[in-house]
């Protein structure tokens, strides 16, 4: 009995050492780099430049005045040159930065896509005291993000003609405003980034909000992947409406509606349905079918090829 107790103690000690080593290794992992989209302050927000963001529970961000991108590069062993700007939701009051930002980015990394998670100005964040608008300030932040990725594509091993956007809920509204609607006015040329196009090459809308639908420039919209829950009273109707608009305009589009599912299922970790856990796989299939996950070899991908 004593020998068994000694063996058990050794096993427990070994387990503790392994777990401790793993925890220490995790702590040593460097944080992903973050870059400000306007180093001197966003237009109209220069007076709030440098003001700290508010972070709740380590996952929800607010008081955002310096729009930025957090960069998660794909592993060089399977990076394919595709890039996606990930736009978290949060009702324009906060950013669900982990579940609808970082986790989505890591899923994209697994299929060789380099991801850039956007922190944008929040029009409904009353605590910040700022007077931002969704259509102008927040949408401008996403347009600047697309331009910035293209301008810095070589630095990150990214193809500037395979830059997509992926938005959740309120972030999906911004995607639709940028991808499916005309830009209100071209930006004042402050730097080289402003010379790049802000129209993404493809779009992914995850239970997007209603703003931006019906779209006003759908004929020039890029290929689209749309996903929502069938019980989402807020965001299922605009998802279907936008899909119908895209198809009617001849734009390649794919729609997935999940049964008995409401809002905010993130990248599948919320909810009990097995199908929800696999919806990111359907996105991977769509990206592969559209040719976005392979080098262009002199031609731009054009939606899903005919059988």
C-alpha of 65 from chain center: 19
**What confidence score (pLDDT) does residue 5 get?**
56
Evaluate whether residue 24 is within a structural domain. no
CB distance 62 to 54 below 8 Å: yes
Closest CA to 145 of 198, 217, 88, 192: 198
Q: Which stretches in the chain have pLDDT values below 70?
A: 1-28, 297-307
Residue 79 dihedral angles phi and psi, to the nearest 5°? -60, 135
Closest CA to 70 of 108, 34, 99: 34
Evaluate whether residue 119 is within a structural domain. yes
Evaluate whether residue 128 is within a structural domain. yes
Evaluate whether residue 218 is within a structural domain. yes
Residue 287 host element (H or E): helix 279-289
What is the total count of domains within the chain? Answer: 1
d(CA 166, CA 183): 18
d(CA 75, CA 5): 45
d(CA 240, CA 169): 14
Cα angle vertex 150, ends 288, 198, to 5°? 90
Evaluate whether residue 63 is within a structural domain. yes
H-assigned helices in 130-278: 139-151, 170-179, 236-248, 274-277
Confidence (pTM):
0.88
Total residues belonging to the chain: 307
**What confidence score (pLDDT) does residue 49 get?**
96
Domain that holds residue 187: 31-289
Evaluate whether residue 6 is within a structural domain. no
Q: How far is CA 152 from CA 76, 87, 194, in A?
A: 17, 19, 12
CATH of the domain at 54: 3.40.50.1820
Evaluate whether residue 7 is within a structural domain. no
**What confidence score (pLDDT) does residue 181 get?**
98
**What confidence score (pLDDT) does residue 7 get?**
55
Evaluate whether residue 236 is within a structural domain. yes
């Amino acid at each position: 009995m004593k020998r068994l107790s000694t063996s058990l103690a050794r096993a427990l000690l070994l387990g503790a050492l392994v777990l401790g080593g793993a925890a220490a290794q995790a702590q040593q992992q460097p944080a992903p780099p973050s870059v400000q989209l306007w180093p001197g302050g966003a237009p109209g927000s220069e007076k709030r430049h440098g003001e700290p963001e508010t972070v709740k529970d380590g996952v929800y961000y607010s008081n955002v005045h310096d729009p930025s991108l957090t960069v998660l590069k794909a592993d060089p062993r399977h990076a394919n040159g595709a890039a996606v700007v990930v736009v978290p939701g949060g009702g324009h009051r906060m950013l669900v930065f982990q579940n609808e930002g970082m986790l989505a980015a890591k899923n994209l990394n697994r299929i060789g896509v380099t991801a850039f998670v956007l922190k944008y100005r929040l029009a409904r964040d009353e605590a910040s005291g700022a007077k931002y608008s969704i259509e102008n300030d927040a949408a401008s932040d996403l347009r600047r993000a697309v331009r910035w990725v293209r301008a810095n594509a070589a630095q990150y091993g990214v193809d500037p003609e395979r830059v997509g956007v992926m938005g959740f809920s309120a972030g999906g509204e911004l995607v639709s405003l940028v991808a499916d609607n005309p830009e209100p006015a071209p930006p004042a040329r402050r730097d080289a980034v402003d010379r790049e196009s802000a129209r993404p090459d493809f779009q992914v809308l995850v239970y997007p909000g209603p703003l931006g639908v019906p779209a006003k420039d759908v004929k020039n919209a890029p290929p689209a992947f749309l996903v929502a829950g069938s019980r989402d009273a807020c965001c299922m109707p605009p998802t279907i409406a936008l899909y119908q608009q895209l198809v009617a305009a001849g734009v390649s589009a794919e729609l997935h509606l999940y049964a008995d599912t409401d809002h905010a299922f993130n990248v599948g970790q919320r909810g009990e349905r097995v199908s929800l856990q696999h919806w990111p796989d359907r996105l991977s299939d769509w990206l592969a079918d559209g040719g976005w996950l392979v080098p262009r070899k002199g031609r731009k991908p054009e939606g899903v090829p005919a059988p």
